[in-house]
Structure 1
Amino acid sequence: MHLTGVGKRYGLRGPWVLRAVDLQLPRGALIRVEGGNGGGKSTLLRVVAGVCEPTTGSVTERGTAAYVPERFPPELPFTARRYLTHLGRLHGLTGRESRRRADEWAERLGFADKIRAPLRGLSKGTCQKVAVAQAFLAEPDLLVLDEAWTGLDQPSRDVLDGCVVERVEAGATVVFVDHDPRRLADEVYETYRVEAGAVVAAIPEAQAIRVLIDIDTGPSPELDRLPGDPVREQSRPGVVRLHSSTAHSDALLRHLLTAVPGISVRAVHREGDGA
């Protein structure tokens, strides 16, 4: 996914919330966004998710997207199950499949006993669980979470952590904001800060620790879409070297080792270890 020259302001003469933003968000990557209150984080997430259009610039290769807003509107005139089923249908699922997935996510997130209750009668925490469920329902290519953990109890936060990792391992791009700096810290591929309308890398890519994975080349559909979009280098005849960040190396190795047909992993090194 690419953001090119993206700027955003509200109104013809409103101040620029974002200006000249250029970002590449790779497939199968977990991206953290940081910044002060009112600095433009939520606006950036809404533009990434396609909830609002940029004033200038373009967003390309988004794929199917789902979004969990900072505040979920509980006044909608639906039960939780009907709302989730409706969202599933909008994502192209059949009614039957939408209901099945709605029930499955309600069970997983711990609100199965309230799934037939009206949204307006649910607690803030349960409404937030419904918001999370609708985002995962159709297994989107892009998942955007704006403080999605806020209001959840600890067991549900742990479940959400696991769900995010699953989507990344499945090849989705996940972009999130959260107040807890420890949130999924070991899984984050890149962190960006929104400052004075600009979006900058919190840790320059040149300083990131890289992992080198040597694999045998050969026809395999599993090589077409790799977690984190690692850089590929022909290191010697018949062998390709993949350059991956440490944050994404576990998912990449798991993908390679479970591929069908199999992919032979010859060696794994840390960059700078003389490999």
Structure 2
Amino acid sequence: MSVVLEARNVSKDFDGNRLFENISFTCKKKSVLFVQGSNGSGKSTLLKVLAGIYEPTDGKVIRNTNKIGYVPEHFPEGIRFKVKEYLSLTASFHAAEEGKEQLIANYVDLFDLSPFLSMPLEACSKGTKQKVGIIQALLMRPEILLLDEPLTGLDLKSQQTLISVLQEIRGQMPILFTAHDEGLVSQMATDILHISSGKMTSYQPHFKKEKWIRVQFIDEKDLGFIPPNRIQFDGNTALITVDQEKSDELLLKLLQTNCSILEVKEKA
């Protein structure tokens, strides 16, 4: 699978100060990259460099498409359109005319924006602006999607809606997002990039989250289908390590072998 986005030793300076340096990674179509770091680590600026809003001071960003959807953490100030006007204008640049209104209506319904369509953006809450920002990026039908702190300002229902949307479109384009810590959206990550004090302290491509499942069994032979390196026995209990995406399937199989599930938790 070909690379859609690549950063090669990317660094960025502002006013003579280096925000970050030597950031390198690749994203393919199915990549979901979680850019992790504390406030001031340079995450937001990195996304702006990747989006082409800023140029890198050193290094190179290679984009194999120009269709980039970008959602900033803070919606731009000074936009005087009403919500519906802004979304219609955005869609007119990217969506086919005959399907434009239906596409907008679908997203408006999904994110419960109907009561705010006639409201000026300047008068909207942060959460409403965040929804508008997300929808405008999706209306582009992007081939790269960049999300800066996408859950900020959203209530729990809207957070879950966004995650459902991202789950639906993942695999169609690389998705990159920033977050202060691991939350709901981080569970989708295939790759993790951690930035601290302007340095790339770790990069884990093809990252897979794992779970621990502790079970009580009757006969050790019943667990013979589990690879030895994924299970630890302690008397008549066992601790099993499993990829998160396969955990539901394994739980069902364990129940079918008359095991009692004692504990399920994310591996630390």
The answer to whether the superposition gives a TM-score over 0.5 is: yes
Q: Could you tell me how far 1:117 is from its partner in structure 2?
A: 2.1
Q: Deviations over 1:185-233 (max 9, x none)?
A: 432101111123222435476x8689xxxxxxxxxxxxxxxxxxxxxxx
Aligned to 1:66: 69
Structure 2, unpaired ranges of 5+ = 211-242, 248-268
Aligned to 2:224: none
Aligned to 1:228: none
CA distance in 1, matches of 2:199, 2:106: 40
Aligned to 1:174: 175
Q: Could you tell me how far 1:137 is from its partner in structure 2?
A: 1.2
Greater C-alpha Rg:
2
Aligned to 1:112: 114
Please state whether the residue corresponding to 2:160 is helix, strand or coil. helix
Equivalenced residue count is 211
| 4+ runs deviating over 6 angstroms | 247-250
Residue 209 to residue 131, structure 1, CA distance change in 2 (3 Å): closer
Q: Could you tell me how far 1:180 is from its partner in structure 2?
A: 4.5
CA distance in 2, matches of 1:209, 1:148: 21
| % same residue | 28
Q: Could you tell me how far 1:249 is from its partner in structure 2?
A: 8.4
* Structure 1 segment 1-275 matched on structure 2, within 5 A: 1-11=5-15, 14-63=16-65, 64-90=67-93, 92-169=94-171, 171-201=172-202, 203=204
CA distance in 1, matches of 2:245, 2:191: 10
- The amino acid that maps onto 2:91 is G
Aligned 8 A contact 2:121 2:129 in 1: yes
Please state whether the residue corresponding to 1:58 is helix, strand or coil. strand
RMSD: 2.6
CA distance in 2, matches of 1:203, 1:23: 9
Aligned to 1:258: none
TM-score, normalised to structure 1, is: 0.69
The answer to which structure has the higher strand fraction is: 2
Please state whether the residue corresponding to 1:28 is helix, strand or coil. coil
Aligned 8 A contact 2:9 2:59 in 1: yes
Aligned 8 A contact 2:11 2:18 in 1: yes
Between 156-165 and 183-192, the greater mean CA deviation after superposition: 183-192
CA distance in 1, matches of 2:187, 2:76: 32
CA distance in 2, matches of 1:122, 1:3: 35
